[in-house]
C-alpha cells in the first residue's frame, strides 16, 4: 500500500471545530489536542497561498495556539514560484505570533514537496518536521510540550 494514495477521502478530524472553509483551505481547532489543523485542498495559486497564510496566522494568534498540524495530503498542485512562497513568510509569522511546533504532512505533488523542503532549510523556528503519514505527524505533535 502506498504512503500517499492518489485519491484520499477527505474527512475533517472528529475532534475539530471548523473556523474557516474555502475551496482551497479548511482551518479548524482540534479541541481534543489543542492545536490548529489546516488542510490545503486542490490547486493552490499565489493569492490562495497568501490568503491562507493570513488566515492561519490570525486564527493561531486569536486562539493562543502553539501547535499546527499542516495537512497537505489533499493539495494536488502548488501554482506558485519559490519567490511567491518565500514572500508569504508563513512560518516566521506563525512563530512571531506564538506558534512553536508544526507537523507538516507532505503533499503528493512533488513541486509542493520541494517548496516545503526549501522552507524548512530557511527557518529554525517554529520547529517544523515533515511527515509522509498523518498518524505519525499526529503522534509527534502530541509529544511536543
Lowest mean per-residue pLDDT among 37-46, 81-90, 104-113, 122-131: 81-90
**Can you give the pLDDT at residue 137?**
95
* Yes or no: domain 16-143 corresponds to CATH 3.30.750.24: yes
Cell digits for 81? 514560484
Q: What is the C-alpha to C-alpha distance for residues 22 and 96, in angstroms, rounded to an integer?
A: 25
pLDDT confidence bin for 64, thresholds 50/70/90 = very high
Per the model's pLDDT, the better-predicted residue between 98 and 123 turns out to be 98
Residues paired with residue 4 on neighbouring β-strands, in sequence order: none
How many distinct helices (H) and strands (E) make up the chain? 5, 6
Looking at residue 107, the DSSP 8-state letter turns out to be P
Task: Give per-residue pLDDT as tens, 21-54.
Answer: 999 999 999 999 999 999 999 998 989 988 999 8
* 5 pLDDT higher than 50: no
Rounded to the nearest 5°, which phi and psi values hold at 53? -60, -45
Say whether the peptide bond before residue 21 is cis (omega within 30 degrees of 0). no
**Domain assignments of the chain as residue spans, ordered by start:** 16-143
Opening angle at CA 36, ends 76 and 65, nearest 5: 145
**Can you give the pLDDT at residue 101?**
93
Q: What is the mean pLDDT of residues 73-94?
A: 79
Q: Quick one: CA dihedral 17, 60, 144, 1, positive or negative? A: positive
* 10 pLDDT higher than 70: no
**Can you give the pLDDT at residue 144?**
92
End-to-end CA distance of the chain: 33
Amino acid at each position: 500500500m502506498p504512503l500517499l494514495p492518489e485519491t484520499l477521502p477527505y474527512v475533517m478530524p472528529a475532534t475539530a471545530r471548523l473556523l474557516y472553509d474555502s475551496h482551497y483551505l479548511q482551518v479548524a481547532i482540534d479541541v481534543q489536542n489543542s492545536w490548529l489543523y489546516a488542510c490545503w485542498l486542490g490547486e493552490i495559486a499565489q493569492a490562495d497561498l497568501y490568503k491562507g497564510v493570513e488566515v492561519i496566522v490570525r486564527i493561531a494568534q486569536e486562539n493562543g495556539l502553539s501547535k499546527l498540524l499542516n495537512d497537505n495530503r489533499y493539495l494536488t498542485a502548488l501554482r506558485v514560484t519559490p519567490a511567491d512562497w518565500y514572500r508569504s513568510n508563513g512560518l516566521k509569522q506563525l512563530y512571531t505570533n506564538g506558534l512553536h511546533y508544526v507537523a507538516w504532512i507532505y503533499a503528493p505533488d512533488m513541486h509542493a514537496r520541494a517548496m516545503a523542503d526549501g522552507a524548512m532549510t530557511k527557518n529554525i523556528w517554529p520547529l517544523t518536521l515533515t511527515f509522509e503519514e498523518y498518524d505519525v505527524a499526529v503522534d509527534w505533535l502530541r509529544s511536543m510540550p
